[in-house]
Structure 1
């Protein structure tokens, strides 16, 4: 099944990716065989993940999360969508957040 995942790197930064085999991909990251970004920042810890029915949906969420700030990603990992409602600039401008 497709997954989106968030890793916390040794330097405190966050990495977001998607995969169809989460266990295999996490093992690759841990072994230094994952993305170049995580390879330079080992060890990594799984911070959050979600399963999706379609790879297209997982990829869409991956790109969405990648566009978020570090603080927003952490809040989302800890509390889900409710924790980040009102974080977008558009919602703040319109007085929704």
Structure 2
């Protein structure tokens, strides 16, 4: 079986939220916090970032679809998702 994919939400230093997908959440979190070329442009100037939510998905396609759905949520809805 292939590695599962994850959708994750980060809380940035400026209190904004960032959504992404990966197969290795801890590695990706480290990349975001290092701020190098593998970090997202959005998080590079908003470090440190903290993992506040993650979901397991069966494959990359479902992870991408879930990420897009999360990105369409309002901030209030994202905060409600985090608090569950």
- Does the pair score TM above 0.5? yes
Q: What is aligned with 1:73?
A: 78
Q: Which runs of 5+ in 1 are unaligned?
A: 80-97
2:22 maps to 1:2: no
Inter-partner Cα distance in structure 2 for 1:31 and 1:15: 16
Matched, 1:63 2:72: no
The unaligned stretches of length 5 or more in structure 2 are: none
Matches of 1:53 and 1:68 in 2, distance apart? 22
Equivalent position SS for 1:11 = coil
Residue 21 of structure 1: how far off its partner (Å): 1.8
Cα root mean square deviation, aligned: 0.9
Query: Which structure has the larger Rg over C-alpha atoms?
Result: 1
Equivalences, count: 79
What is the aligned partner in structure 1 of residue 56 from structure 2? 51
> What is residue 29 of structure 1 aligned with on the other side?
32
- Structure number with higher relative contact order (C-alpha < 8 Å, ≥ 6 residues apart): 2
Q: Could you say what secondary structure the match of 2:55 adopts?
A: strand
Q: How far apart are 1:63 and its partner, in Å?
A: 0.4
